[in-house]
Amino acid sequence: MRSFPTSSPENALLAAILSELMWRRVPARAELGRIAGLSETEAGERLKALERMGAVVVDLAGNLLAAYPLSAVPTLHVVDLGGAAPWANCAIDALAVPAMAGRPGTIRSRCAHCDAGVTVDVEGPRITGARPETAVVAYGGLAHCIDRPSLEGRCPYINFFCDLAHARAWKRPGGWQGRLLSLAEAVELALERFDPIIEIFRHSPVAPQA
């Protein structure tokens, strides 16, 4: 994300979109004004501003694909919040979702090397469990996957792995540059990166808790 929204109508729209994506509901363009308490014209303008900031991704037809950290299309990273179970764009995005929702969550993802399940329990800034316990995150490429191929559902840059050996054996996308993080390091990075979005979401009058 290049920057984050500062004006309150943009915050309201972003929070409203995120609260819909929490429940895997993808608001149509025509609904944005109603859910954010804005006129349709203003909602359209604010959506464009959010897009320019890199806070949301919209396809050529105007359909919402993502509002970071959440995805509007199925991905490898599901964050089970004990009710809501949104899709996250990548491993780092997934780790920020429980703090944003204000409740514990369990991330269900897959090792990008061997496709085995990787499950991570997160409570705010703390990792409270992981299966396998050796799981790590490869973090690199584009910080927020903003140029990921639309609808691919697999961010090629930021993934979970069973362990260091699988992260090192991973066939990386061409040009990938990055580093391997422990889960504790990864959740710390996630909360640092998403702090502005977490604040916007948690303090918005229109965003119900997940």
- Grouping H, G, I as helix, E, B as strand and the rest as coil, residue 131 is strand
CA angle (20 as vertex; 16, 203 as ends), nearest 5: 40
144 HSE (CA, 13 A, CB side): 20
Q: Which is nearer to Zn ion, 110 or 148 (by Cβ)? A: 110
Cβ-based neighbours of 118, under 8 Å, separated by 6 or more: 107, 108, 109, 110, 111, 130, 131, 132, 135, 160, 161, 162
Binding mask 93-112 for Zn ion (x = CB under 5 A): ------------------x-
164 binds Zn ion (CB under 5 A): no
Considering only the stretches 78-86, 115-123, 139-147, 201-209, report the one whose residues sit in contact with Zn ion under the rule CB under 5 A.
115-123
Position among 108, 113, 144, 148 found at the interface with Zn ion (CB under 5 A): 113
Considering only the stretches 45-53, 58-66, 139-147, 164-172, report the one whose residues sit in contact with Zn ion under the rule CB under 5 A.
164-172
Q: Which is nearer to Zn ion, 113 or 144 (by Cβ)? A: 113
Token digits for 78? 């599901």
Considering only the stretches 21-29, 98-106, 155-163, 172-180, report the one whose residues sit in contact with Zn ion under the rule CB under 5 A.
155-163
162 binds Zn ion (CB under 5 A): yes
166 binds Zn ion (CB under 5 A): yes
Whether 187 and 122 have beta carbons less than 8 Å apart is answered as: yes
Q: Distance between CA 143 and CA 190 in Å, rounded?
A: 11
Shortest gap between Cβ of 128 and Zn ion (angstroms)?
Answer: 22
Task: Give the interface with Zn ion as residue ranges (CB under 5 A).
Answer: 111, 113-114, 116, 162, 166
